[in-house]
Amino acid sequence: MTEQTTTPRRVAIVTGGSRGIGREAAARLAADGFAVVVNYAGNRAEAESAVAAIAAAGGEALAFRADVADETAVSALFDRAEEAYGGVDVVVHAAGVMILAPLAETDLDVLDRMHRTNIRGTFVVNQQAARRLRRGGAVINVSTSMLALRLPGYGAYAASKGAVEAITMILAREMRGRDVTVNAVAPGPTATELFLDGKDEETIARMAAQPPLERLGTPEDIAEVVAFLAGPARWVNGQVLRANGGIV
């Protein structure tokens, strides 16, 4: 008689998982067989809607509220994933804030708010991931192709995402011997609520025409890259993948 062994279900935490890129990444990972913890900051209804959609498609997920910049809350987020599913294999850190203004007109309170979420939040989430991920795991941070585009008005936001890329590159090397990959995805202009908010149709059309593929990205485009890094891409490590349709 042959003894059959079952592979444990892989588990993913997706921060900012209630909307936009995070929500689509959560849905894609669930479709790929992950149990998913959908982290959200404040909109419980959206998070529960994301979980319900995953369940309706045959997946498994739960929602958990945590401010990504609060180390106690993020520790509790990982605790919940471990209690519910036995461990954590993949962390997709998609939570972020984008507020645009020319550097000379940027309110420093706005700068501090953006940096708290985008920089401190990345550090806190990655710190817990570094301590807790199982062998064979992956950390996937979300940066931005605006670092390369250097568009006016994006100074504070791009600066915060520059820190995200630095954390990603260094953590990849600090995880030596753990069999955990650490990468970042840097979307170009992507049709999310975060990106579209405050932009007129002319601006959106102009940005959509810039890539050789002549369209905005979609959350599904970015989720496909996330799924690649979370699953088969074991030899991609310490990299920034600029998922932007060839705009840069």
The closest of 183, 93, 106, 97 to 138, measured between CA atoms, is: 183
Rounded to the nearest 10 degrees, how much is the dihedral formed by the CA atoms of 137, 244, 195, 205?
Answer: -160
Query: What separation, in Å, do the N-terminal and C-terminal C-alpha atoms of the chain show?
Result: 57
Burial (CB count <10 Å: 0-12, 13-18, 19+), residue 139: buried
Among candidate residues 40, 85, 154, 157, the one labeled active-site is: 157
**Residue 138 phi/psi, 5° resolution?**
-150, 140
Quote the CA–CA distance of 90 and 29 in Å, as a whole number: 10
- Residue 85: active-site member: no
Q: Are 26 and 51 in contact (CB under 8 A)?
A: no
Quote the CA–CA distance of 60 and 76 in Å, as a whole number: 20
Chain-centroid distance, C-alpha 29: 12
Q: Which two tokens stand for residue 156?
A: 């504070």
Q: Are 70 and 78 in contact (CB under 8 A)?
A: no
Residue type at 220 in one-letter notation: E
Catalytic positions, please? 157
